[in-house]
Structure 1
């Protein structure tokens, strides 16, 4: 493996698909995360290492570190390091004075939370909130449909519609949002088969019933402090797709391919 490395801001399920592909291609990757990630598809999200110290996704282990200087020993173990650094403060010193060859913003916040072109020689934003050519060098489209994965060099990605993509013929009905602000107490586990109306969790004392029958594809971590209207769970109506709870999605893999295309086009090799 070469001496340069890639930084990815965010370790949710879409970013994890990109990170996983980069790692499998031979790139050294460092994940930067916030102090309390709110992933829904937690079984395929490297950000869970923030809480558990490590996260294992499709044969790849991510380990939390406390300082950027620990990256090399994690890479030597053929693992991916994760650092809690929401402001990307580690860029001020870099790794032994070396800045990343590229920086990818995979936070998927639907807005730019501080990523700038000056952060690395090549910068990539995933999804809406970034103007390619100004905020970052490239933007990758994340909306499902014909343009998913399209590489944008001088425009924005499609704006967030607030309507989830279609899965098994179901769109907005498959995603659950918190009815109140408070601490969530989860009663069902990811990959459980759930029935419409079944209580999946409580926010304080307010129940959260399943909106449809299907497989609980994801649910936010137990004990998380949620706000009213926050996305907290995702149900897949296709009961036969239970195994998908533990594998990277087609959407994430598509986006990952576009990121690799950009890096290779910029002559940033593994």
Structure 2
């Protein structure tokens, strides 16, 4: 491991955060992922957050494992695995992760909430945030652009990412319609699995008896964990018109581009410190 003394604390374990973990892991950084007790991740097959739900997950060359304690998480991080610790609040882990050796950890807010929930520049020696809702130089040191297009993955050292449009990016000609949303409040039940090819109007599952049908032909790229209790309108699935089944099980181009931006920001920071 090239950077054993530079621990990265990654808040969020969704598919975009997993692209960040992938880039940093292969560059030689130990990583600890912090997640919710019940992750609301959609692209479960390519999200390290799934380790909380299933105990462990293999994503390409990444091995993620649910850690039961900070001590276990630290040991796993140094072994080359990706520990995922249930810790929605940084205060849960407190001073145990404040200093590793003589290094202050690197903190990355990869929750992609489109707003700043509780991140500030004093939480670590380097604080990086993904997407809109943050201003570099105010509440973090660097922001990474998450909007598809020419600026995707760029590091912003002063200012903010492009504002949230509220509309998913266009993929194969499909925008908002590729997002499956809960038609009611209640528990999700799926009849099909991630990676299944579906036809328009085919029944995918239901929420509290309200059916969820495919809006067009495609492949189910992501589905929230079955049994999850959701509210009306929450994003619970992702349908991809490209119908590339393999893409359901590999880290996306967007996630890797964002991960590359994070890696650039971390190495730039370390270069300035040397």
TM-score band by shorter chain is: over 0.9
CA contact (8 A) 2:153 2:257 kept: yes
How many angstroms apart in 2 are the aligned matches of 1:47 and 1:171? 25
How many angstroms apart in 1 are the aligned matches of 2:213 and 2:161? 34
How many angstroms apart in 2 are the aligned matches of 1:131 and 1:260? 19
TM-score (norm 2): 0.93
Pairing 1:1-270 to 2, within 5 Å after superposition: 1=1, 2-90=4-92, 92-95=94-97, 97-98=99-100, 100-239=104-243, 241-267=244-270
Partner-residue secondary structure (3-state), 1:200 = strand
Partner-residue secondary structure (3-state), 1:260 = helix
Q: Give deviations 1:183-210, integer Å, cap 9, x for gaps.
A: 1111110000001111111100100111
CA contact (8 A) 1:7 1:100 kept: no
Go from structure 1 to structure 2 and tell me whether the alpha carbon gap of 1:97 and 1:158 turns closer, same or farther (over 3 Å shift).
closer
Go from structure 1 to structure 2 and tell me whether the alpha carbon gap of 1:100 and 1:84 turns closer, same or farther (over 3 Å shift).
farther
Stretch moving more, 60-69 or 135-144: 60-69
Deviation at 1:53, TM superposition (A): 1.2
Size of the aligned set, in residue pairs, is: 268
How many angstroms apart in 1 are the aligned matches of 2:93 and 2:154? 28
Partner-residue secondary structure (3-state), 1:112 = coil
How many angstroms apart in 2 are the aligned matches of 1:201 and 1:162? 25
How many angstroms apart in 2 are the aligned matches of 1:97 and 1:170? 46
How many angstroms apart in 1 are the aligned matches of 2:218 and 2:126? 41
Q: Give deviations 1:92-125, integer Å, cap 9, x for gaps.
A: 2134853643100000111112111111011000
CA contact (8 A) 1:91 1:119 kept: no
CA contact (8 A) 1:6 1:100 kept: no
Deviation at 1:90, TM superposition (A): 4.7
C-alpha RMSD of the superposition? 1.6
Deviation at 1:250, TM superposition (A): 0.4
How many angstroms apart in 2 are the aligned matches of 1:165 and 1:75? 34
Unaligned runs of 5+ in 2: none
How many angstroms apart in 2 are the aligned matches of 1:165 and 1:238? 14
TM-score (norm 1): 0.95
Partner-residue secondary structure (3-state), 2:159 = coil
Deviation at 1:71, TM superposition (A): 2.6
CA contact (8 A) 2:220 2:240 kept: yes
Runs of 4+ in structure 1 off by over 6 angstroms are none
Q: Give deviations 1:36-83, integer Å, cap 9, x for gaps.
A: 111111100000111111121112111111221113431354211111
